[in-house]
Structure 1
């Protein structure tokens, strides 16, 4: 299979994604939140672009008899009126089991919505990387790893996460890697300790300044969750 990497949401060319499998990565922290919430038995997650649209979606779902909860961030901070921030540690089984989550974040939910022309969209992070790699082997089609990035720019954390997944895929098979995919694989294999590598990243520094080290440590744990959430394009919701 052909493997490629897009380095930020601003670099997504929607027509390029047609007939390809996309893995959206925003490991700090939106995709880690989605994976964690669904692993803790949330019913589904709706990735929403704006705060206003999130409140509209909540009213729509309430009218359908559902019990939606709002989660997300702006500038890494909890949004006023929301139930959760963008910390995966808040999405516990006790709080989210059976619930529909409406999530709006600066980077990750935007990257997901810009990827809807792909054949299939998987949600990936370090915490489920091995499960994603195994799923991609089963699908066996060309893959584009979409890095959400930070405010439209390259993000070291998403890039090394892509590299880890590419490295896993290449353990047992030879694949056709683009130059940037080869670079991501090299970066990961040269920096196995993720926190040591990303500690100088801008987004890491922002979260560190907000005393979110527990989030950072959690999001850098490899392969602690075995589910692979997928986007259902008809409803635009994410489920297992």
Structure 2
């Protein structure tokens, strides 16, 4: 099994990678939020790159659709929900289609949408993703970390390291250099991910400044969710 781990979406060129599957990671917070939404009963999530595109897509769903996402970490004007996974409760989203946009994670999904298979991974469902990859005949895997505003993300690297660590327990895995570094970082931090993320993550510090520190704890809770989000026909489903 070959695993190529990409540090940010800016470094990802789909033409350069012959992957059986791409796993997109944006721990703080888009991939965690989408995982949470699907586990709480959302019908599907339609990712898009911009707020204006989200409003245009909403016109195609006269009922059972809500707008979710963020701009500079906060809920855009006229959106139903922001990018906090804690907002996506069964009461607010059960049976709904969610049109979702965010600066990093949603854009990463859109950029990788032509992959043979695309999954959403995070710390909260890392083991479920690893188990799925172990049980399917995948030979070439790309782990795409969305990053933060074009820069490497500490928490995305941790999630990649978690997935790689579990894959390595069941397979003979060949890693690129960044994947090896991610696995080592996860081994170093896995005893207290919340502490390490708060201490080292730029995105976490930004969330703390605007009073969303509870999101960090939610997003760093290992294996609290079991869903495996997959992109199919432009929608993320389970």
TM-score range normalised by the length of the shorter chain: over 0.9
Over 6 Å off, 4+ runs: none
Deviation readout 1:56-85 (Å, 9 max, x if unpaired): 0001111xxx32100010110110000001
Asked if the contact 2:19–2:142 (Cα under 8 Å) also holds between the matched residues in 1, the reply is no
Shift of 1:42: 0.5
Alpha-carbon distance in structure 2 between the residues aligned to 1:14 and 1:170:
24
Shift of 1:118: 1.6
Q: How many residues align?
A: 235
With over 3 angstroms needed to count, the CA separation of the structure-2 counterparts of 1:11 and 1:166, relative to structure 1, is: same
For 1:100-111, list aligned pairs within 5 A. 100-111=97-108
For residue 168 of structure 1, what is the aligned residue in structure 2? Answer: 166
Shift of 1:174: 2.0
Ranges in structure 1 where 5+ consecutive residues have no aligned partner: none
Matched, 1:90 2:87: yes
For residue 54 of structure 1, what is the aligned residue in structure 2? Answer: 54
For residue 72 of structure 2, what is the aligned residue in structure 1? Answer: 75
For residue 112 of structure 1, what is the aligned residue in structure 2? Answer: 109
Ranges in structure 2 where 5+ consecutive residues have no aligned partner: none
TM-score (norm 1): 0.95
TM-score (norm 2): 0.96
CA RMSD of aligned residues (A): 1.0
Deviation readout 1:189-237 (Å, 9 max, x if unpaired): 01112122222211111001111111110000000111101001x3x11
Matched, 1:197 2:196: yes
For residue 27 of structure 1, what is the aligned residue in structure 2? Answer: 27
Alpha-carbon distance in structure 1 between the residues aligned to 2:58 and 2:134:
36
